[in-house]
Amino acid sequence: GSGDGKAKAERMFGLMNGFLKNDPYSLQKDILDHVEFTVPRSRFSFDDFEAYQACAHTVKDRLIERWHDTQMYFKRKDPKRLYFLSLEFLMGRSLSNSVINMGFQDQYAEALSQLGFDFEVVAEQEADAALGNGGLARFSACQMDSLATLDYPAWGYGLRYQYGLFRQVIIDGYQHEQPDYWLNFGNPWEIERVHVSYAVKFHGTVEEKTIDGEVRHDWVPGEMVEAVAYDNPIPGYGTRNTINLRLWAAKPSGEYDMESFNTGDYINSVVNRQNAETISNVLYPDDRSHQGKELRLKQQYFFVSASLQDIVRRFKDSHPNFENFSEKIALQLNDTHPSLAIAELMRILIDEEHLKWNTVWKIVCDVFSFTTHTVSPESLEKIPVDLLGSLLPRHLQILYDINFKFMEDLKKKIGLDYDRLARMSIIKEGAVKQIRVANLSIVCSHTVIGVSRAHLELLKTRVFKDFYELWPEKFQYKTNGATQRRWIVVSNPNLCALISRWLGTESWIHNVDLLTGLREHAADASLQQDWQKVRRMNKMRLAEYIEATSGVTVSLDAMFDVQIKRIHEYKRQLLNLLGVIHRYDCIKNMEKGDKRRVVPRVCIIGGKAAPGYEVAKKIIKLCHAVAEKINNDPDVGDLLKLVFIPDYNVSVAELVIPGADLSQHLSTAGHEPSGTGNMKFLMNGCLLLATQDGSTIEIAEELGVDNMFSFGAKLHEVAALREKGLAVKAPLQFARVIRMVRDGYFGHKDYFKSLCETVDGSNDFYLLGHDFASYLEAQAAADKAFVDKEKWTRMSILSTAASGRFSSDRTIQEYAEHTWGIEPCRCPF
Ligand code: Z16
């Protein structure tokens, strides 16, 4: 009976606890086993990379053990679960993070050192998992870490792209894109589940049948692809809980195209089957714009369909009917990319499970929540109706039905205001009919979430104004966060140790509010001294990296000034470059004696441009052109250096952020939904030079605006300036530096012409000219503060002390309590 089963399960749980030993000697033995049998290499001769592979496999074994225990425990407890749907996860490297979260850091360091290896060097062999573009994708990864650490019963779902974000190679100062075939040398972290697979259908026709007086829809597909699961265990810190990130890969379907084989063209049939795999081949590298491409739509549906089939199957395994579906399941839409999940859940429950429309509609409205990461209505995703109708005919019907009912309800509420009805409709009428995916997500979700307080304000007043007026209670914000495990403990071990020493505890690693305890020591001379020592060591590492990647030698006494993020006009890397040119111009025109008063700077810029984004690519080239001039000018020497760090990614960020003195966040007010880089710099005691935009507004409140360098037009000023047609006079210095670029002072006169025009007078949409004067003032204030070491160090300590609120632990707790309604479920074994 079931009683016996329970006793047996208890016994098994007991036995499972600690199959694998984690003392240095046992780890060593396991590492050598994997060298010999998994890699495989002779245990008497293997290099750093092979040591990494073997090490990763020993960690994976331990992850699997915990993964099993956690999943069995979740299954037994049957708590409400969160499913986090995202087309992008920027996980970066896993070795250090896993070892630290599991608590085996010292044991691994010792095990490896006795074998003649250095843990840090071994960890650096790992290639980044770069299955995402930028902030949105890294935020997903941070949220997974927090979900695991806080013991929430959660799963992530995504796509296993064979090629992640392109590798950026700089040739002659120009960006070139190369494929990132990250799976080349195998991926020790994933568990391939050949038996967990689902058929995903495309194209074909929908037939209507009446069975027992009810209309049934039978979708006969024209194409079928198999989705195979790859599981990536995510260990929590200070807990045994290890949650799952399930990524889907496309494979040719098993039985479907028997037909084509029977026609006799065997070779072509095999070759055609391989086309199925193209679906999960490559990540789209545009971080904002998506132009209704069929492959992209296929990716979205493929991922959504496999995930929902899996979720429904798991639910049915332990529930007799769908009555409590929405009490047991929360589905989180990470931006609009997974929004076809709405139509897919309706299709599964209506067409396959034969539930009634109204029952299903209620379920849908109870389970979905939707976080949006955008501020511009123009960049909201749209799907051409023709494309959707051809690829997913049944889903198009469902969307039309949803929209019809929504429009009928809306008419009752707001009357026949046809303009407003047309704006809010899920279908955009016109020459090319389109599905407005954001409208679909809003209509079908119980909550719509912005990523900072300022972002919610923009959603209410601009982006989703009509919807806010209809359903004000639906709209909320949860300010983004970053995980201190990766962004302090993994990437800045020396600062981590120093913090723990001064707080007298390591508890801040999972209870980050404790960091405020540093405030009372901010002026303490002995903490300041230790703090400076740690920061200098980090700068040394960064200086070595700069020398290795760009050949520029930099002085550790200079201020390391960093701007790293995707290249975008609104993020204003060009403003930074124009500031650097101005600084250079000043130095060139100085009397010799005045140079002693110049605060030396190393200006560091890194980031990728979307392959088709010409303006962004010109900004990268300008950076290289200016760097070449400045770095080779004997009049300048160590007073100013400009460096572009190529191929910026998560692991580069882990190296750069701890070594930065100052970081720049320059978006024109009203354009950065949140920003999370600023939070990572803050955690590491790096001072911010920033506009009042996105999450920086909240950072300024927490830290005190005097402890950062704030500048630029505020939101209402931006609006007023644009209303006036940008009729402002840029300061003389701005005209002067633009002229230098335009006149060919840095070469490539013709190439830079159009770039200069983007910030010229009434073209200057992002207000570089307007903000230039206050930008230079903020830079001067930073110079002045840097000279006062005591003051600077105090501000640095206060920055770390203020960073607790910007932990993704806080973000996740808010989502769990207010949006998902989930509770911790901690595996006790
Ligand atoms: C992205 O990374 C973000 C927004 C977006 O529409 C598309 C991509 Cl790929 C970023 C925001 O720009 C950033 O402000 C925010 O912190 C991040 O998403 C996470 O919410």
> What's the pLDDT tens digit per position in 395-407?
999 999 999 999 9
The pLDDT value recorded for residue 256 is 58
673 Cα: distance to centroid of ligand 1 (angstroms):
7
List Cβ<8 Å contacts ≥24 apart for 253-261. Answer: 253/199, 253/224, 253/225, 253/226, 254/226, 256/199, 256/223, 256/224, 257/224
Calculate mean pLDDT across residues 573-589: 98
Q: CA nearest 230: which of 211, 209, 244?
A: 244
Probe target for ligand 1 pocket from 336, 373, 452, 815, with the most ligand atoms within 8 Å of CB: 373
CA distances 520 to 119, 125, 156, 512, 524, Å, are 35, 40, 40, 16, 8
Is the CB of 808 inside a 6 Å radius of any atom of ligand 1? Answer: no
Distance 241 CA to ligand 1 centre (A): 29
pLDDT in tens, 209-263: 998 888 999 999 999 999 999 999 999 999 999 999 999 999 998 765 666 667 7
Q: Would you state the pLDDT for residue 17?
A: 57
- For the CA of 455, the closest atom of ligand 1 is 14
pLDDT tens track for 635-644: 999 999 999 9
Residue 188 near ligand 1, beta carbon < 6 Å: no
| pLDDT reported for residue 257 | 60
Q: Is 570 in the pocket of ligand 1 (CB under 6 A)?
A: no
Mean pLDDT of 717-721: 94
Q: What is the pLDDT of residues 438-479, one digit of tens each?
A: 999 999 999 999 999 999 999 999 999 999 999 999 999 999
CA of 135 to the centre of ligand 1 (A): 5
Looking from the CA of residue 288, the nearest atom of ligand 1 is 7
For ligand 1, say whether the CB of 142 is within 6 Å of any of its atoms. no
Q: What pLDDT is recorded for position 274?
A: 85
Query: Residue 226 in 3-state DSSP?
Result: strand
Cβ(451) – ligand 1 distance below 6 Å: yes
The answer to whether ipTM exceeds 0.95 is: yes
Q: Whose CA is nearest to atom 6 of ligand 1?
A: 374
Read off the DSSP letter of residue 609: P
| Cα of 430 from ligand 1 centre, angstroms | 30
Question: Atom 1 in ligand 1: which residue has the minimum CA distance?
Answer: 136
**Predicted confidence (pLDDT) at residue 347 exceeds the cutoff of 60:** yes
Q: Whose CA is nearest to atom 16 of ligand 1?
A: 675
Residue type, 235: P
Within 13 Å of residue 522, how many CA atoms lie on the same side as its CB? 20
Q: Given the CA of residue 135, which atom of ligand 1 is nearest to it?
A: 2
- Give the atom of ligand 1 at the shortest distance from the alpha carbon of 371: 20
What is the reported pLDDT for 208? Answer: 96
Average confidence score pLDDT of the chain? 96
Ligand 1, residue 139: give the atom nearest the CA: 19
Residue 16 has pLDDT above 60, yes or no: no
Average pLDDT over residues 645-659: 98
Whether ligand 1 lies within 6 angstroms of the CB of 676 is answered as yes
- pLDDT band for 430, please (50, 70, 90 cuts): very high
Quote the DSSP letter at residue 482: B
Q: Name beta bridge partners: 448.
A: 370, 475
State if residue 158 touches ligand 1 by the CB under 6 angstroms criterion: no
Q: Which residues are catalytic?
A: 373, 565-566, 571, 676, 680
> Rounded to the nearest whole angstrom, what is the distance from the C-alpha of residue 672 to the centroid of ligand 1?
8
Residue 113 — very low, low, confident or very high, per pLDDT cuts 50/70/90? very high
* Interval 654-671 mean pLDDT: 98
Element (H, E) at 631: helix 614-631
Its pTM surpasses 0.90: yes
pLDDT at 1: 42
**Per-residue pLDDT for 358 more than 50?**
yes
Give which of 702, 723, 703 is closest to 713, Cα–Cα: 723
